[in-house]
Amino acid sequence: MRFEEVYGHPPAGVWSAPGRVNLIGEHTDYNDGYVLPYALPQRTTVAAAPVPVPEWTVWSAYAEQRKPVRFGEADLVPGRVTGWAGYVAGVVWALRAGRFPVPGARLAVTSDIPAGAGLSSSAALACAVLTALADLAGLTERDLPLADRPVLAQRAERDYVGVPCGIMDQSAALLTRPGHALFLDCRSGEIAQILFDPPAAGLALLVLDTGVRHRLVGGEYAARRTTCQQAAAALGVAALRDASLPDLVRLADPVTRRRARHVITESQRVLDTVALLRAGRIREIGPLLSASHASLRDDFEVTTPELDLAAATAEAAGARGARMTGAGFGGCVIALVEAPAAESVTAAVASAFTARHLPVPGSLLP
């Protein structure tokens, strides 16, 4: 259903934001570390038109009821609007809290980013709505610079909806250029566009969705954040970004030590990956991807048996490297393969899953 069919008149415009895959740098953003996501072709699209009253009506193709949700100024209190519409209310709230004007609006949302697959469908929603509302309000990039927008979308998600996310997903949705991965220093906010074009090198980056949707992801994610903060406090540093491997002996608790080790080694793997990509040595990033998965499995403990199976099978079938991507506890695995091997690696993963009576992972890219 399109905007016209829902509201009976055309929209003033159409805006969109992509989902993302994180190439490497997992659970580093909230430790002031480095990340390297890139944008997917899959996007969330928002058609919108202003209305003369401070009231917002949102329709989504994915809402269970398929009925528009309406909220007004009284609902611009964190947590008041729940479910997917909460992301929209959160963006209105975050813009207003930043003293930006926001007109009332009618919005219609569609998306081809699978939800809950760790591909940042929620950040894409928040970022598409943010771009739409900023444009409807007449805000130019001078009024609200692109570089300042990820923080506003993050506030919507973190402070209004209540998901304790970092800054990676919103930055990826708003700042990534086609054919590039976004190298982001999550402390300084500094970015660099890193050429990342597997097909040009005769490679393919597979994205395989295990279909596992972990409902406890919020609680586990928050727990990892807390442990990282505790580790930083115990080491007397502002964030784990400031710690190095020799410091780990000062952490008495073995679990905390492993969590911190993941963050420290993962940030270094991002730097190593960026160095290889800048040197045009894309094939050589494979082992770093695999090392990242092992660290997320053994030290950070956020993988699932399905993610481990997909990554290990892809590697055994010839992938140069494979890893889970996103927060973990389900979702997708990425695998860097020689282009001619894309099909056989995908098929090997499918048969490993079938042999264990698990649903065959969906493939997001050919």
Q: How far is the CB of 218 from ligand GLA (least distance, A)?
A: 10
List the one residue from 90, 326, 331, 361 that touches ligand GLA (CB under 6 A): 326
Please answer whether residues 31 and 239 qualify as being in contact, where contact means their C-beta atoms are separated by less than 8 angstroms: yes
List the one residue from 32, 75, 169, 306 that touches ligand GLA (CB under 6 A): 169
Footprint (CB under 6 A) of ligand GLA, residues 250-269: none
Q: How far is the CB of 157 from ligand GLA (least distance, A)?
A: 8
Range in contact with ligand GLA (rule: CB under 6 A) among 8-16, 49-57, 165-173, 251-259: 165-173
End-to-end CA distance of the chain: 27
**Using only C-alpha atoms, what is the Rg of the chain?**
21
Q: How far is the CB of 165 from ligand GLA (least distance, A)?
A: 3
Using the minimum distance from each CB to ligand GLA, give the nearer residue, 75 or 169.
169
List the one residue from 19, 78, 103, 166 that touches ligand GLA (CB under 6 A): 166
Q: Is position 168 an interface residue for ligand GLA (rule: CB under 6 A)? A: yes
Report the DSSP beta bridge partners of residue 71.
Answer: 56
Buried b (16+ CB within 10 A) or exposed e, 347-361: ebbbebbeeeebebb
Footprint (CB under 6 A) of ligand GLA, residues 93-112: none
Of 346, 300, 361, 296, the C-alpha closest to 323 is: 296
Please answer whether residues 154 and 174 qualify as being in contact, where contact means their C-beta atoms are separated by less than 8 angstroms: no
Size of the site for ligand GLA (CB under 6 A): 11
Please answer whether residues 273 and 282 qualify as being in contact, where contact means their C-beta atoms are separated by less than 8 angstroms: no
Residues marked active site are found at 169
Residue at 106: amino acid letter: R
Q: Which residue is nearest to ligand GLA (CB)?
A: 166
In the block, residue with structure tokens 């490679």: 203
List the one residue from 11, 18, 23, 26 that touches ligand GLA (CB under 6 A): 26
Using the minimum distance from each CB to ligand GLA, give the nearer residue, 29 or 247.
29
As a whole number of angstroms, the distance between CA 103 and CA 101 comes to: 7
Task: Name the site residues for ligand GLA (rule: CB under 6 A).
Answer: 22, 26-27, 29-30, 165-166, 168-169, 326-327
